[in-house]
Amino acid sequence: MIIQGTLVSSSGTSHSQIRLEGNQIVETGSNLGKADYSFSDDCLVFAGMGDIHIHARDDVGESQIYKEDFCTAAAAAINGGVVHAADMPNNPVPPITDESYHDKLKHLEQRNPAIHFTLYAGIGPGTRPLSFAVPYKAYMGPSVGDLFFRTLEQLDETLSHYRGCNVSFHCEDPILLDEHANAATHEARRPAECEISATRFALQMIEKYELRGKLCHYSVGEGLPLIREARSRGVKVTCEVTPHHLYFDQSDLTDENRGKMQMNPPLRTVSDRKAMLAALRDGTLDYLATDHAPHTLDENEQGISGQPHLDTYGAFVTWLILDQKFTPEQAALFCSENPGDFVNPYVSPKKFGRIEAGYTASLTVLNLRQPVTIKREDMQTKCGWSPFEGITFPGSIEAVFIEGKRVR
Ligand SMILES: NC(=O)N[C@@H](CC(=O)O)C(=O)O
């Protein structure tokens, strides 16, 4: 199959062709032959985009599949132009040992969803590394689920067994969270200082145990210099940012929308939001990762934290490009290449993130001239809503190819 259009990578944009054979890209060039699919100049063809922070809610116990499962998460992902995703371990039956991880993997294989999921293993008090390579996730303090640390000493002791591993951190300091537990609003109960203190600690741990570290859903401007300083000393740390922390801030909160707008870490100030946009632009933040955290609207109204975001990933990227003036090359880096580099050690023989021979033939095509208004009925996530309902993004998904097949 030959596809032609404006191909985007972090190093540039070119009008070119791609030849796919089976599930692989075998060649790119300008004279490969007659195209099966030709995309106009209104469209940009990216290596398939990857969301490396999602909650598909599916495990062997199946107690949360009323919110989402691997198949509905995959449908939402394709709707949003996401071709692979990495699933978090805060399940009721968390994958924290060889056995529980294998059980979840087997469950995933039985579901046979339409996109590839990489599974994180959880780190909790007293856990030990698995006997095979996986990405890990450590929740510093309580969020959703029971997999978290009550003290940072406990986390330090546990991490001493994970030397050299790939560990992602949910950065909110459990002791400071406790100190603010009686504040009046969600934002005041989880203030910026919790994330800043946790950032300092995570960076120390990454350095001390020579981890390959990642900070999840980064949201506070004051923490960014700490990350830059650690990197300048060679500490191996990368960072995610979510659509909600780039688009919304506390000035968007009303009495009516508080339930929908609740997540951990919470919405921050206007200046934090602008700092996140600037840090995504300058490369301090590495991944657009949604923290897709589906709950029913009723659950959100009752105070649970998390928003669904897979369905709107690609449309949101067009807002970054057209409204916020990110270059397509920057988007290729934080939507395709960096997420690919993050999961590639765990997904062989698949290889995500670039339009090059030898990579998996998955592509995300955005149309920059076809705006879309986000409507509840167009969402594929099982929880059935979006925080962006009613908002018009300036572009939309034109096509999605998964492993050599056009699926949209
Ligand atoms: N981010 C959230 O607000 N919620 C996540 C948990 C998490 O990632 O902290 C969830 O699982 O619902």
Sheet holding 116-119, edge to edge: 49-54, 82-87, 116-119
What mean pLDDT do residues 215-232 have? 98
Band the pLDDT of 13: cuts 50, 70, 90. very high
Ligand 1 centroid–CA 144 distance in Å is: 5
Residue 357's pLDDT is what? 98
Residue 87's pLDDT is what? 98
Distance of alpha carbon 115 from alpha carbon 86, whole angstroms:
11
**Environment class of 70 (CB within 10 Å of its CB; exposed 0-12, middle 13-18, buried 19+):** buried
Q: Which amino acid is at 236?
A: K
Share of the chain above pLDDT 90, in %: 100
Helical H runs in 286-336?
Answer: 297-301, 313-322, 328-331
Ligand 1 centroid–CA 328 distance in Å is: 29
At the topology level of CATH, where does 50-347 sit?
A: TIM Barrel (3.20.20)
Residue 311's pLDDT is what? 99
Distance of alpha carbon 155 from alpha carbon 139, whole angstroms:
9
Q: Are 150 and 139 in contact (CB under 8 A)?
A: no
Ligand 1 centroid–CA 145 distance in Å is: 8
Distance of alpha carbon 50 from alpha carbon 360, whole angstroms:
12
Ligand 1 centroid–CA 6 distance in Å is: 36
What are the tens digits of pLDDT across the range 88-142? Answer: 999 999 999 999 999 999 999 999 999 999 999 999 999 999 999 999 999 998 9
Report which secondary-structure segment, H or E, holds 110: helix 98-111
CB atoms within 10 A of CB 234: 7
What mean pLDDT do residues 253-281 have? 97
What are the tens digits of pLDDT across the range 131-186? Answer: 999 999 999 989 899 999 999 999 999 999 999 999 999 999 999 999 999 999 99
Q: Which ligand 1 atom minimizes the distance to the CA of 143?
A: 9
Residue 302's pLDDT is what? 96
Band the pLDDT of 56: cuts 50, 70, 90. very high
Q: Are 1 and 14 in contact (CB under 8 A)?
A: no
Opening angle at CA 219, ends 134 and 117, nearest 5: 30
Rounded to a whole number of angstroms, the CA Rg of the chain reads 20
For a mutational test of ligand 1's pocket, the pick from 143, 146, 242, 302, i.e. the residue with the most ligand atoms closer than 8 A to its C-beta, is: 143
Residue 321's pLDDT is what? 98
Lining residues, ligand 1, CB within 6 Å: 55, 90, 143-144, 170, 263-264, 291, 293, 305-306
Residue 278's pLDDT is what? 98
Residue 367's pLDDT is what? 99
Q: What is residue 378's DSSP assignment?
A: G
Residue 100, SS3 per DSSP: helix
User: What does DSSP say about strands 363-367 and 287-288: parallel, antiparallel, or unpaired?
Assistant: unpaired
For a mutational test of ligand 1's pocket, the pick from 68, 144, 147, 290, i.e. the residue with the most ligand atoms closer than 8 A to its C-beta, is: 144
What mean pLDDT do residues 266-295 have? 98
What mean pLDDT do residues 42-52 have? 99
Ligand 1 centroid–CA 267 distance in Å is: 13
Residue 82's pLDDT is what? 99
Ligand 1 centroid–CA 32 distance in Å is: 46
Distance of alpha carbon 94 from alpha carbon 254, whole angstroms:
35
Ligand 1 centroid–CA 208 distance in Å is: 27
Ligand 1 centroid–CA 364 distance in Å is: 26
Residue 365's pLDDT is what? 99
Ordered by start, the domain boundaries in the chain are 50-347
Picking from 371, 401, 408, the residue whose alpha carbon sits closest to that of residue 388 is 371
Query: What is the rounded average pLDDT for all residues in the chain?
Result: 98
For a mutational test of ligand 1's pocket, the pick from 64, 260, 305, 310, i.e. the residue with the most ligand atoms closer than 8 A to its C-beta, is: 305
For a mutational test of ligand 1's pocket, the pick from 53, 63, 67, 90, i.e. the residue with the most ligand atoms closer than 8 A to its C-beta, is: 90
Q: Are 361 and 390 in contact (CB under 8 A)?
A: no
Residue 254's pLDDT is what? 97
What are the tens digits of pLDDT across the range 391-406? Answer: 999 999 999 999 999 9
Q: Which residues of 36-53 are buried (b: 16+ CB within 10 A; e: fewer)?
A: ebebeeebbbbbbbbbbb
Q: Which ligand 1 atom minimizes the distance to the CA of 139?
A: 9
Residue 108's pLDDT is what? 98
Ligand 1, atom 4: closest residue by C-alpha: 306
What mean pLDDT do residues 345-353 have? 98
* Cis omega (within 30 of 0) for bond into 349: yes
Q: Are 311 and 260 in contact (CB under 8 A)?
A: no
Q: Are 28 and 7 in contact (CB under 8 A)?
A: yes
What mean pLDDT do residues 19-35 have? 97
Q: Which residues contact 191 (CB under 8 A, 6 or more apart)?
A: 176, 180, 183
Ligand 1, atom 9: closest residue by C-alpha: 143
Ligand 1 centroid–CA 244 distance in Å is: 13
Q: Which residues contact 326 (CB under 8 A, 6 or more apart)?
A: 280, 281, 320
Distance of alpha carbon 364 from alpha carbon 77, whole angstroms:
11
